[in-house]
Amino acid sequence: MPVKCRFCERPAFIKLHYPKMYLCPEHFMEYFERKVKRTIERYKLLRPDERVLVVVSGGKDSAVTAHVLKKLGYSIECLHINLGIGEYSKKSEEYAKRQCRGLAPLHIVRVKELLGKGIGEVRTRRPTCSYCGLTKRYIFNKFAYDNGFDAIATGHNLDDEASFILANLMNWNTQYLAKQGPLLPGEGRFVKKIKPLYELTEREVVAYALASGIEYHMEECPHAAGATTLEYKSILNDMEEKRPGTKINFVKGYLRKKKLFEAELEEYELGKCSVCGMPAQGERCSFCRFWGRSEELKL
C-alpha cells in the first residue's frame, strides 16, 4: 500500500525529514512556495514593487528561483552569463533559454565575446573558480545597476550556504563569515543581492523541479571537479541523515552569531575604479585589473 500525502488521498511523492511528513506533488509545491514566501518576509528580501534580476545558469536552483518568484507575483527578468566553457556553456545557455521561455525576458551576456577569452582560457596563477566568480559577480551587478534593477536573485540553497559557512569556519575566514546571509543590502553601485531558496535543501529543490516539470542542466562544470565545497556538502549530508535538521539549525545558528564575525571586519576606504567607476580598493577594481580593462565594459 503506497504511503499517502499528509493532506490528501493521493500517493506521496516525497518524504520530508524535517519536518517529517509525506507529501503529494501538489502539496509539496505548495509547501515549497510557502517556504520561499516566508523566507522573503522573514529576512525582508523584497518589496512587492521591486524589479528583480534573476541570474539563471541553466541549472536547477536558479530556474526554480525564477519560477517561484514569478509564481509569487514578483516582476522578474533573467540574465544568463555564458562563461565560454566549451560544450558545458553551450548546453547551459540552451537550458537557460528553455527555462525562461514564456516565463520572463532573458538577457544573455557571453564572456568570450565580451572579453576575448572564456573562463579557463586565461593564463593566470589565479584559480579558475576564483576569477570565474569575480567575473560573474561583476557582470551581474553591472548589468543590474546599469539597467535599474532593485535586486539580484541567485539560486543559492541551504546546502550551498551550510557548506560555504562550514568551509569558511574550517579556515577561519572571518572576513567572509561577516558578510554572508540571505540578504546583502545594496550600497551605492552595489545592487542588493537576495537568496530566496536560503532555507530549502538541495533535495527539495530537485524535487520541486521534478514536480513542476522544470528541465535543467545536470552536468557539473568541468572546473568543479575536486572542489572542497563538494566534500563539505557530503559531510553535512551524512550528518543530516543521522540528525535531521542539522543544516538548517547550523545556518540559523550562524545568522544569530554573525555579529561576532562582524566585529572583526576590517574597515577600508573604497575608492572609485578609474576605468568603470565601480567601488575599488586600489586605482582599478578587481575586475578591470584582472581583465586588463582600459575602457568601461558596456552591457
Residue ranges in contact with Zn ion by CB under 5 A: 5, 7-8, 10, 24, 27, 273, 275-276, 278, 285, 288
The entry of Zn ion, ligand SF4, none near residue 218 (CB within 5 to 8 angstroms by kind) is: none
Query: Which residue type, as a one-letter code, is found at position 170?
Result: M
Q: How far is the CB of 136 from ligand SF4 (least distance, A)?
A: 7
78-115: burial string, b at 16+ Cβ within 10 Å, e else: bbbbbbbbeebbeebbebbebbbeebbebbebebeebb
| Sequential DSSP letters for 70-93 | HHTT-EEEEEEEE---HHHHHHHH
Q: How far is the CB of 217 from ligand SF4 (least distance, A)?
A: 11
> Cell 576605468 maps to which residue?
275
Q: How far is the CB of 123 from ligand SF4 (least distance, A)?
A: 16
- The one among 86, 116, 133, 245 contacting ligand SF4 by CB under 6 A: 133
Helix 228-242 to helix 246-262 angle (10° resolution) is 120
- The one among 137, 203, 223, 293 contacting ligand SF4 by CB under 6 A: 223
Task: Using the minimum distance from each CB to ligand SF4, give the nearer residue, 129 or 255.
Answer: 129
- The one among 62, 128, 141, 163 contacting ligand SF4 by CB under 6 A: 128
Helices (H), the chain: 25-42, 60-71, 86-100, 111-115, 128-146, 158-170, 174-177, 202-211, 228-242, 246-262, 286-290
What mask, x for binding ligand SF4 by CB under 6 A, covers residues 62 to 101?
---------------------x------------------
The entry of ligand SF4, Zn ion, none near residue 200 (CB within 5 to 8 angstroms by kind) is: none
Query: Which residue type, as a one-letter code, is found at position 92?
Result: S
**Which residues of the shown chain bind ligand SF4 in the complex (CB under 6 A)?**
83, 119, 128-129, 132-133, 221, 223-224
